[in-house]
Amino acid sequence: MSRRRSLTATIVAAVIAVALGILLSFEIHWFPVQASAQSHNTDRLYHVLVIASVPIFVLVVAVILYCVWQFHMKPGEELKDGPPIHGNTRLEVFWTAIPAILMLGMVGYSFVILHDNEKKPAHEIQIGVTGQQFFWSFQYPPSVTGGPTINSYDLYVPDNESVYFNMRSKDVIHAFYIPAFRLQQDVVPGITTHYLATPDRLGNYPVVCNLLCGEGHSLMRTTVHVVTPTKFRAWIKSQLSESSSSTGKISTVRGASG
């Protein structure tokens, strides 16, 4: 095969590989289900990153394979050297400038997504989160309950309402992570950190501690229940009556782990 034809063949193969790579990233959805408004944004960012990344990787691999195929040492070339090409300023400027522009473009787009994800909603409900070795507990303030603060080991949130979590740690650093929401935030002793999510899909999703917090770290898991606003209010009501009957003690130990 002539050099020109083999180059054409490599380019065609590379283009097919790029198309396949991007197609696969869309067809196979590795992520958990999307259960928050933010998750749609973050997944879109992921797809943009993949579309930008696959061609770069394929380019690198294609050049290597083509060079191995065409330029490997043939018998009789043991003492031969390649042409003494020391560089090409135009090419070097090109592969400095293009990646720089690409990087800034991607970073810019990621900031747009970040801004969207963290935009203060018109209306939000506030829930307290307490992390301690090795379980989570949740505090529903009077603004949510309409009565006294509820302390619960279960996390219920209403669908399609923005939830603003105020998070504190009693001992070491934990991280509050809900993969279905695509959001996590460290929970740090001494300061209050915040986590804004807008659940938009009914269901139960895992909540995990995502920062090593000691021996029981791997079992510091619980579940977030995204329920309809009606069910949410009913659940709050049941918690209120339970807590008044048990004189303000922690209402339920179901769901505690670790």
Partner 1 sequence: MAAKLRAPGFYRAGWLMVGGVGFATLLTWLVRMSTGHATYHHFLSGEAVLTVSLLAVPIAFLIGIGGFDYWFYWATGRPTRPEDHSGHGAYTWKDYFRINTDHKVIGVQYLVNSFFFLLVGGLLAMLMRAQLAEPGSHFVSANTYNGLFSVHATLLIFLFMVPVFAGFGNYVIPLMIGAPDMAFPRLNALSFWLLPVAGTIMLLSFLAPGGAFADGWTAYAPLSTDAPIGQTFFSIGVQFAGASSIMTALNFLVTIITMRAPGMSFFRLPLLVWANFATSLLVVIATPFIAASQFFVLLDRALGFNFFNAAKGGNVLMYQHVFWFYSHPAVYIMILPGFGIISEVIAVKARKPIFGYRMMAFSLLAIVGLGFTVWAHHMFTSGMAGWIRIPMSITTAIIAVPTGIKVFSWLATLWRGVLHLDTPMLFALGFITTFTLGGISGIMLAMVPFDIDVSSTYFIVAHIHYVLFGGSLMTIFAGAYYWFPKMTGRMYDERLGKWHFWTTFIFMNLTFGPMHVLGLEGMPRRVATYAAQFADLNMWISLASFALGLSTLIFIYNMANSWRGGPKAAANPWRGMTLEWLVSSPPPVFNFDRVPTVVGGPYEYGVPGAVHGILAPTPATVAAGAGLARAPS
Residues 161-220 close enough to bind partner 1 by CB under 8 A: 171-173, 175, 177, 179-180, 182-191, 193, 206, 208-219
Q: Can you tell me the distance from the alpha carbon of 224 to that of 232, in angstroms, rounded to the nearest whole number?
A: 12
The residue from 22, 35, 117, 131 that contacts partner 1 (CB under 8 A) is 117
Minimal CA–CA distance to 47: which of 110, 125, 123?
Answer: 110
In angstroms, what is the minimal distance from the CB of 110 to partner 1? 4
Would you state the structure tokens that stand for residue 133, as one six-digit string?
A: 């070795």
Does 230 participate in binding partner 1 (rule CB under 8 A)?
Answer: no
Residue with tokens 């209306």: 123
> Closer CB to partner 1, residue 8 or residue 244?
8
Q: How many CB atoms lie within 10 A of CB 161?
A: 17
In angstroms, what is the minimal distance from the CB of 94 to partner 1? 9
Element of type H or E holding 115: helix 89-118
Does 27 participate in binding partner 1 (rule CB under 8 A)?
Answer: no
Does 13 participate in binding partner 1 (rule CB under 8 A)?
Answer: no
In eight-state DSSP terms, residue 148 is: S
Tell me the β-bridge partners of 150: 140
> Closer CB to partner 1, residue 217 or residue 225?
217
In angstroms, what is the minimal distance from the CB of 183 to partner 1? 6
> Closer CB to partner 1, residue 144 or residue 175?
175
Would you state the structure tokens that stand for residue 164, as one six-digit string?
A: 């603003």
Q: How many CB atoms lie within 10 A of CB 249?
A: 9
Residues 33-72 close enough to bind partner 1 by CB under 8 A: 38, 41-42, 45-46, 49, 53, 56-57, 60-61, 63-64, 67-68, 71-72
